[in-house]
Structure 1
Amino acid sequence: MLAAASGGEARMAASGGGGCLRPFSCEQGLLSRPDGSAAFLQGSTSVLAGLYGPAEAKSSRELPDRAALEVLLRPKVGLPGVLERSREQLLRQTCEAVLLGGLHPRTAVTLVLQVLSDAGSLLSCCLNAACVGMLDAGLPLSSLFCGVTCALNASGAIVLDPDAQQEQEARAVLTFAIDSAERKLLMANTKGSCSVEEMQQCLAAAQRAADTIFQFYRDSIQRRYSKS
C-alpha cells in the first residue's frame, strides 16, 4: 500500500555559465515494506530508493564498531552489470561518509535503488534519492548530501544537470556529491577528459547548485510534516 507523501518542484537559474537545473521533485514514504523510501525526479530521470534497517546483520557482514551499509543499484531493465557495480561503490562511499553508523554497531543497513527512467544525470539522481530515502528512514546523519552532474560541451561551456543527449555530446561528464554542512566534496566521478581548471569550475558550479537542492530538501520535508 502507498503511504501519503510530500512532493514539490524547484528550478534553479544558476549564475555564471552553468545554465539551470531541470525541474525536480520528490515523494517520501511511498513504500510500506522498507523502513524508509523516496522517489526522486530530475527532469525525466527518476529513481526509487528503499531503506532497510538498521537490522540484525548476518555474521559474515557484521562490523563490531558500526553498521554495515550495502547499496544495490537495479537498472530499469535487465540485470546489474559492471557500470551498476561501480556506481554502487560510489554511492556506498558517499552514504558512509555521512551515516553515523557507530550509533548502531553490529547491524546492517541496506539501500536499494531502482532506476525508473534514465534521461541523463542518473548518478546524481541516485545520490539525491538515497539522501531523501535515508531521511525518511530516520537514519542518523552528520549532514545531508546531494548529487550534481556537470557536462562540458565542445566549446568548454558547463551544462548543469545535463539530459541524455547533452551527456552524449559532451567532452566530459562530472558528477559530484556535496555535503550540506560545509559544501565539502564527498565524491567525484568523471567520464571523458578535462583540465584541472575545468574540473574546479565544474565543482564550483555544483556547489552553487547544491544550495538550491538542499533548500528543496528542507521545503519538501517541511511540507510533508506540516500536512501530517
Structure 2
Amino acid sequence: MAESGGCCLRPFSCEQGLLSRPDGSAAFLQGSTSVLVGLYGPGEAKGNRELPDRAALEVLLRPKVGLPGVLERSREQLLRQTCEAVLLGALHPRSAVTIVLQVLSDAGSLLSCCLNAACLAMLDAGLPLSSLFCGVTCAIDPSGAIVLDPDAQQEQGARAVLTFAIDSAERKVLMANTKGNCSVGELQQSLVAAQRAADTIFQFYRDSVQRRYSKS
C-alpha cells in the first residue's frame, strides 16, 4: 500500500490488484473517504452493448448502503465520460469494459476519490490509455476562500463545490462538475488550484506503481 499527501490535500493511500476476480482493481483512500473498484474486460460485449468501432464502457457506482439513486446515476455518467476520454477503445472493438465502484466511506470529495480509484484500476488492468487522469475537488467557503479536497463538513458549509477531472498529459480538464454558485473568477481560481494539486496526485500514482512493481 502506497501513502502520500501534500499541497493542502488530505493524506491518500492506495492498493492495486487486491481483488482476484476482476481484471483490474484498486482501493483509494483520501482522508477518511474510500472507494473500492473492480474492472472487468475487455471481454465479450453482450447483445445490444456491442459497438463495431470501439469498446463499450459501462460504469456502475454503488453507495455504501442501499440502492443507487439519482445522484449515483449522474456520477456514473461523469465517471464514464472521463474514462472514455482516455481509453483507447478503438483497439478493442466489439468488446465491453465494466467498471464497478463501491463506496466504502464518504467523508467528502467523493467524486474525486472515485475518479482516482477508477484511474488506478484501469492502470492495474493494463488498459490502453492516451493519458492518466485524476480528480480534484475544491470548495468555496462563504468568505470566498478556496478549500482543496474538502471534507464532508467543509462541503456542507461551502457556497460552491467544484470537481475537476484533469489529464496527466497537458493538465486539460476532461470533466467539470459544479454544485452551488460561484463567479467565473472563482471557477478559474479553483481550476488553477486543482491543476496544481493534480501534480501531487500524479506523482503519487508514479510512486505507488513503482513501489508495486519493484516488489514484484
Scaled by the length of structure 1, the TM-score of the pair is 0.94
3-state SS in 1 of match to 2:210: helix
Is 1:65–2:65 an aligned residue pair?
A: no
Query: Which of residues 188, 191, 194 is equivalent to 1:203?
Result: 191
2:3 corresponds in structure 1 to 9
Gaps of 5+ in 2: none
* Separation of aligned partners in 1, 2:165 and 2:57: 18
Structure 1 position 72, deviation (Å):
0.1
Residue 9 of structure 1: how far off its partner (Å):
1.6
State the one-letter code of the partner of 1:10. S
Partner of 1:17: none
Question: In 2, Cα distance between the equivalents of 1:83 and 1:201?
Answer: 26
Q: 1:223 — aligned with what?
A: 211
Give the RMSD, CA atoms, in angstroms.
Answer: 0.4
Q: Aligned to 2:185, what secondary structure does the other structure show?
A: helix
- Tell me which amino acid in the other structure corresponds to 1:120: G
1:80 corresponds to: 68
1:16 counterpart residue number: none
- Rounded to whole Å, the distance in 2 between the matches of 1:131 and 1:64 is 25
TM-score (ref. length: structure 2): 0.99
Which residue does 1:120 correspond to in 2?
108
Deviation by residue 1:45-77 (Cα, 9 ceiling, x = unmatched): 000010000000012100000000000000000
- Residue 153 (str. 1) matches residue 144 (str. 2): no
> Are 2:126 and 1:132 aligned?
no
Other-structure match for 1:172: 160
SS at 1:9's partner residue? strand
Q: Deviations over 1:84-127 (max 9, x none)?
A: 00000000000000000000000000000000000000000000
Quick one: distance in 2 between partners of 1:176 and 1:141? 19
Partner SS for 1:10: strand
In structure 2, what is the Cα distance between the partners aligned to 1:8 and 1:110? 25
Structure 1: which 4+ aligned runs deviate by more than 6 Å?
Answer: none
- Corresponding residue for 1:25? 13
Identity rate of aligned residues, in percent? 88
Distance (Å, rounded) in 2 between the aligned partners of 1:67 and 1:192: 35
Report deviation, 1:11.
Answer: 1.6
CA distance in structure 2 between the partners assigned to 1:139 and 1:97 by the alignment: 13
Aligned to 1:95: 83
The 2-side partners of 1:38 and 1:8 are apart by 12
- How many residue pairs get aligned? The number is 216
